[in-house]
Structure 1
């Protein structure tokens, strides 16, 4: 029987392999369709094949790898069907979150969003895309928490990841930050007013902005799609 120490060490090794591969895949350092070998990855990280296999399974569960018996494991190509499903699910969840938020919103909640929005405006003025990404993450997570549905953000993030990988192929994403901040400001006002109709309309417009990017990437990089 394995000791607890052995299990902790194996889990830690798996995490290291997983996190490294995850970042390489979502950043497109490793492109869709690329073959990955357990043996090669194990050699690269100087580990046994078991933690690599465990990391592969986690990546497959996130739709980032395609593992088939007796065939090479590949980085999963984009799928318009899966992307469309992710868009549908995220919109459905966010609409319900803002509906719930409007029912319970308090003035002190608006102050929390205002603090986040001030930081968003500041990082956009400095063209700090990485920091804006984190603040955008915090903004949507905060609304989930304040609405009383913190776990909803896990679903939102899962859907968002499936589209973010594709967006790396898009040019001019940084220029959209100002537009996204304006959407966030409008959403914050709708929540402060407890205006469910306006909050829902703003969320639809906000999430719909990605559709043009998806279409453009699909047209320009068809080789990365199923």
Structure 2
């Protein structure tokens, strides 16, 4: 993990570092987290670490067992789909607002993101590409005029984000993601709310394709409730599958 900036609020930094480590599979389901080790590695007191842990517990990323310790939560399929429902509902609405209120001053930010994504793709840097993917969706919230909405979504998307990151090295479809992002951006730039919403719906629902890939990959064993003998099980849960 990176080091803490002593001039900024420590609890928020510890939270983001731990969350990124869990999503990036530096910590896997069932791993034990030592408060002391985290404090020592980040050079912080126990207070910001405990605050970060409590926040991650509320987001289903960690489990605290009395007299036993702090563990990385299992990835449960039902929690993943719950996060997907939140994401689809909010992002499709948000992208319409982004298209409605888009201003030219955002163009350079989008183009810079696409350039950085392309370079990360060429180097096959999964962690960097995932972070840039997140930045793209956060920028859409900014364009919509609701910057805080990204944090609201993240608080409900912990298990979903873990699966999205888990699927990256399985699918290796970075070029498709870049193209989908650019098409969404062009619709936003053109103030085409209907097209932007349709493209975003298809984009965020690609998680079901990711889950179907993981059914056939050993990494899928990390997801509780993902039936490896039945790739169509997702349809039985009432969600669309592309």
Instruction: Return the TM-score normalized by structure 2.
Output: 0.70
**Are 1:157 and 2:151 matched, yes or no?**
no
State which structure, 1 or 2, has the greater radius of gyration over its C-alpha atoms.
Answer: 1
Question: Residues 57 and 187 of structure 1: is their aligned pair in 2 closer, same or farther, counting only changes over 3 Å?
Answer: same
Measure how far apart 1:25 and its partner are: 3.2
Contact 1:218–1:225 (CA<8 Å) still a contact in 2?
no
Question: Aligned to 1:67, what secondary structure does the other structure show?
Answer: strand
Moved more, 190-199 or 212-221: 212-221
Q: Distance in 2 between matches of 1:102 and 1:16?
A: 32
Residue 225 of structure 1 corresponds to 224
**Are 1:106 and 2:100 matched, yes or no?**
no
Question: Residues 77 and 51 of structure 1: is their aligned pair in 2 closer, same or farther, counting only changes over 3 Å?
Answer: same
**Are 1:131 and 2:118 matched, yes or no?**
no
Structure-to-structure mapping, 1:40-189, within 5 angstroms:
41-42=35-36, 45=39, 53-69=50-66, 73-170=70-167, 172-173=169-170, 175-189=172-186
Q: Distance in 2 between matches of 1:28 and 1:173?
A: 14
Q: Distance in 2 between matches of 1:183 and 1:72?
A: 42
Moved more, 93-102 or 151-160: 151-160
Residue 32 of structure 1 corresponds to 29
Paired residue total:
213
Question: Residues 73 and 224 of structure 1: is their aligned pair in 2 closer, same or farther, counting only changes over 3 Å?
Answer: farther
Measure how far apart 1:102 and its partner are: 2.0
- Structure having the higher helix fraction is 1
Q: Distance in 2 between matches of 1:111 and 1:16?
A: 27
Instruction: Return the TM-score normalized by structure 1.
Output: 0.74
Of the candidates 201, 206, 212, which is equivalent to residue 203 of structure 2? 206
Measure how far apart 1:189 and its partner are: 1.3
Question: Residues 172 and 97 of structure 1: is their aligned pair in 2 closer, same or farther, counting only changes over 3 Å?
Answer: same
Alignment deviations for residues 94-142 of structure 1 (CA, whole Å, 9 cap, x no partner): 1111111222223444454234323333432343434333332222222
Q: Which runs of 5+ in 1 are unaligned?
A: 1-7
Q: Distance in 1 between matches of 2:129 and 2:208?
A: 20
Q: Which runs of 5+ in 2 are unaligned?
A: 1-5, 226-242
Measure how far apart 1:58 and its partner are: 2.9
Residue 4 of structure 1 corresponds to none
